[in-house]
Amino acid sequence: MATPSHDPTSTAAWTALLAHRDALTPDLRGWFDADPGRADRFTVDVADLHVDLSKNLVTDETLELLRDLAEQTGVVDRLQAMFAGERINVTEDRAVLHTALRRPAGLDPLVVDGQDVDADVRAELAKVYAFAGKVRSGEWTGVTGQRIATVVNIGIGGSDLGPVMAYEALAASRQEGLTCRFVSNIDPTDLAETVADLDPATTLFIVASKTFGTLETLTNARLARQWLWDGLGTPEADDERRAAVAKHFVAVSTALEKVADFGIDTDNAFGFWDWVGGRYSVDSAIGTSLAVAIGPERFEEFLAGFHAVDEHVRTTPLERNVPLLMGLLNVWYVNFLGAHTHAVLPYSQYLHRFPAYLQQLTMESNGKGVRWDGEAVTCDTGEVFWGEPGTNGQHAFYQLIHQGTRLVPADFVAFATPQHALVDGDTDVHALLLSNFFAQTKALAFGKTADEVRAEGTAEDVVPARVFTGNRPTTSIMAAALTPSVLGQLIALYEHITFTQGAVWGIDSFDQWGVELGKQLALQIAPALTGDEEALQSQDSSTKALIDWYLAHRA
């Protein structure tokens, strides 16, 4: 087999896809009419997820060419290298092993660089579960002896978005009387509002930071510590302050010495490893707040869900491999049909933070302009992911998806079983939600012709405005219910979709250098806002003028 190319545009498959695109007239109506087996043939299951790809703008030939592209760019080899612990994060010289976080007990040990990864993962999980168990049972008390009522996770990016998204999604599995809240923003409003009605005596903070060096998180952690001491009336004496912190602060980090510097006893710290990227870490100790909320048993189910999809992606041939196919479809839309964005539309209120979670996963991973071989890319990469729960989006932005000039591929996600089976008179409200889900993908695919509009008696001059062109691509993802396992499956699905796109594009999906410059400049600019004249004068004229305006208007 030829060496896979780091430049996908130089492959024969890319050239063939361009020619195929030029010859193809998307026609979902015609394709479905001519091919009664299309829905069946293009529907694939992965674990408990039922995925209908048939309303995408592809034919069998398109999929075959996309599979050729995957082969010629070495996607599967790279996937196996990831699972084996090779250092595929080249710019940070790290393995990428989030899949090891969810390996069940009893497999052949995974040893990487002499480290028994499975044993390390299980040992750390055991610590998290023991802690979660104590908080849930009331055995863990605050410094005044009261049981913990609220856990506040302080973190940002991957140390926040995963835990908060999953906490919201799995509301049905939470323990009553125990609430989690999440603080991320360095805007002091976030912490102030979050703790405003809390009792310090019954509040426990989890400071979650992979590096334990993130400005937002450490600032918020210090503010929270002061709030605790003030609220408890802790005397200034070191011993008493340490005792309060020991009962009200735990940490999650890969940098345990920095945890100790902050004053958190490392006995109260849960670790993970540099081979877990922040945006891939919700299933590590970063998910401690979730483990407290749903308990170890449900957390294990969550991990088992991830693993089921890992096994699928690792062992299923390309023809039926859902994450690989969905990743290739995204490449098709971005590089051959000109899509700039991708919508994810959960028809489940509990998944309301899922699109925000996916934004970090996909955009921090694939928003890159340089390949792993150091060369500039020669094609577009990461699209903008966005979305809102249905049906709210229908009354906001769906107009553009239905009739606008831009192609917006969309993933629709729904569950057969409601978590609140409410009825309105004789109407099952969940059925109404689902009928909207089915209606939207149907309308987007098949549209409405001018003749159909006319047949409704529409005045001729309004007909064009009421025509729906159709051929707006969607993927429908369904599951029986939103359980911890299904949530794990959904997250792993999108992790591997993201992987596939990055592998085709030849980019390192596991670094995030693009967030560094802003962080450095913020630290440089901060003194200019608090009286350092030299720092102020060294700014460019626009930034200096904005700072001057800020200083003049700050009340």
Ligand X SMILES: O=P(O)(O)OC[C@H]1O[C@](O)(CO)[C@@H](O)[C@@H]1O
Applying CB under 6 A, the residues found at the interface with ligand X are 156-159, 209-211, 214, 217, 278-279, 364, 512, 515
User: Which residue among 61, 297, 375, 519 is the active-site one?
Assistant: 519
How many Å apart are CA 28 and CA 409, to the nearest integer? 14
Provide the minimum distance between the beta carbon of 264 and ligand X in the complex, in angstroms, as a whole number.
15
Is 395 one of the annotated active-site residues of the chain? yes
CB 492, CB 305: distance < 8 Å: yes
CB of 411 to ligand X, least distance (A): 23
CB atoms within 10 A of CB 10: 12
d(CA 511, CA 94): 10
Q: Which is nearer to ligand X, 156 or 191 (CB)?
A: 156
Strand partners, 468: 448
**Residue that has been written with the tokens 């189910």 in this structure:** 301
User: Please, which residue, 9 or 211, has the CB nearer to ligand X?
Assistant: 211
CA distance 302 to 487: 7
Closest CB to ligand X among residues 56, 217: 217
Provide the H-helix boundaries in 48-180: 60-72, 75-84, 117-137, 161-169
Q: Residue with structure tokens 């952690």?
A: 221
Please name the residue that has the structure tokens 């005397």: 235
CB 262 to ligand X: min, Å: 13
Cβ-closest residue to ligand X?
A: 278
Query: Least separation, in Å, of the C-beta of 502 and ligand X?
Result: 15
| Residue 253 Cβ vs ligand X, minimum distance, rounded to whole Å | 8
Catalytic residue among 395, 420, 533, 534: 395
* Other CB atoms within 10 Å distance of the CB of residue 426: 5
Say how far apart CA 56 and CA 327 lie, in whole Å: 13
User: CB 6 → ligand X: shortest distance, Å?
Assistant: 24
Q: Respond yes or no on whether the N-terminal peptide bond of residue 391 is cis (omega within 30° of 0).
A: yes
* 186 or 324: CB nearest ligand X: 186
118 vs 160, which CB is nearer to ligand X? Answer: 160
Q: How far is the CB of 3 from ligand X (least distance, A)?
A: 31
Eight-class DSSP state of 175: P
Q: Give 359 or 449: the residue with its C-beta nearer to ligand X.
A: 359
Cα atoms found within 13 Å of the Cα of residue 161, Cβ hemisphere only: 18
CA 153 to chain centre: 17
Please identify which of the residues 364, 383, 388, 495 carries the catalytic annotation.
Answer: 364
210 classed as catalytic: no
Let me know if 319 is a catalytic residue.
no
Of the two residues 211 and 394, which places its CB atom closer to ligand X in the complex? Answer: 211
- Residue 267: its H or E element: none
The answer to whether the CB of 6 falls within 8 A of the CB of 506 is yes
Q: Give the dihedral sign, CA 279/285/286/287.
A: positive
Query: Catalytic amino acids?
Result: 364, 395, 519
